[in-house]
Amino acid sequence: MKSRPVLEFNGIPALGLGTYPLSGLDCTDTVKMAVALGYRHIDTAQMYGNEREVGAALKTCGIARDQLFVTTKVDPSNNGKARFSDSVKRSIDDLGGPADLLLIHWPPPDAEIDATLDLLKAEQLAGRTRRIGVSNFTSRMLRQAAARLPDVACNQVEFHPLLDQRGLKQAADELGLPLVAYSPVARGRCFQNAVIRAIAEKHKRPPSEIVLRWIVQQGVVAIPMTTKRDHAVSNLNIFDFELNAEEMSAISGIGSASGRTINPSWMSGRWHD
C-alpha cells in the first residue's frame, strides 16, 4: 500500500478522488478502496447526488474522520438565500458531519455573486464547514471573491493540458490561491496527445501519471476519478518523479481556449473575463 500523500497546497491534499458520476455501491466501494490505498481527499457535490454514499463510505472506511479531507459543493439551484443553508444542512447530514471545504459549485449571475459569497461565509461561521471556496470562477470573479472573503481557500476548475488556463492560473497565483483540477485528464482525451505519449514513453509511465504530475508540479490540486484499483494506485505514483522544465513547457504548449470538456449553457459568454 502506498503511504498517504503529504503534499498539500493551502492545506488541501494535492491528490484526491473525484466521485462524479459515481452512485450507489459503486460510489461507496470506490471511496473505501481509495482511502484504503492512502487517499485522504475525497471530492463530492450536491449536484452529483452521491453525498450519502460518500458519507456511508467515510463512516466505515476505518480511518478517523479528522484524518480525511472532504469537499462538497452547493448546487446552483440552491444559491439563493431561501435554499442555500437548508441544502448545506442536508449535505452535512448525508456526509455524517461538517465538510472540510464547501464550495459554490457554479457562479451565480454577476449581481448575485457577493450575496452568495456571504451565504457561503455564514455556513463556515455556523460550523458546517472548516473552509470555504469557489468553483468555476473566472479571473474577475475570483478576484471579487478574494476581496469579499479573504479566507477563500481555492478555485476548483477544469484544468488539464488540452485547455489553456494560464490566465486563470496567473490570477490565482497573484492571489495566493491554488486551483483544484477537475476532469484532470479530460476524460481520457489527454492520453491520445502525441506530446504526452512521447513523454510517457520516455519515463516508462502511463500518460495518466504524466498528466497528473504536470498538474501537481504547478501547485494545482488534482482530483481524478477512477473505480479501478490499478489506476488508483498508479495515480499515487506521481509523487515518485518529476518532469523537467522542457517537458513541463512542452505539455503547457498543448492547450487551447477551445479545449473544454465541461461547458454548460449557463456559462456561455462568461469564461473569458
Catalytic residues: 48
Report how far apart the first and last C-alpha atoms of the chain are (Å, whole number). Answer: 44
| Residue 238 dihedral angles phi and psi, to the nearest 5° | -65, -15
Q: Cell 472532504 belongs to which residue?
A: 70
- 70 is written with which cell numbers? 472532504
Angle at 32 between CA 231 and CA 52, to 5 degrees: 120
Angle at 53 between CA 81 and CA 68, to 5 degrees: 85
Q: What is the DSSP string of 147-203?
A: HH-TT---EEEE-STTB--HHHHHHHHHHT--EEEESTTGGGGGGG-HHHHHHHHHH
How far apart CA 123 and CA 218 sit, in angstroms, is 31
Residues 197, 229: contact at Cβ < 8 Å?
A: no
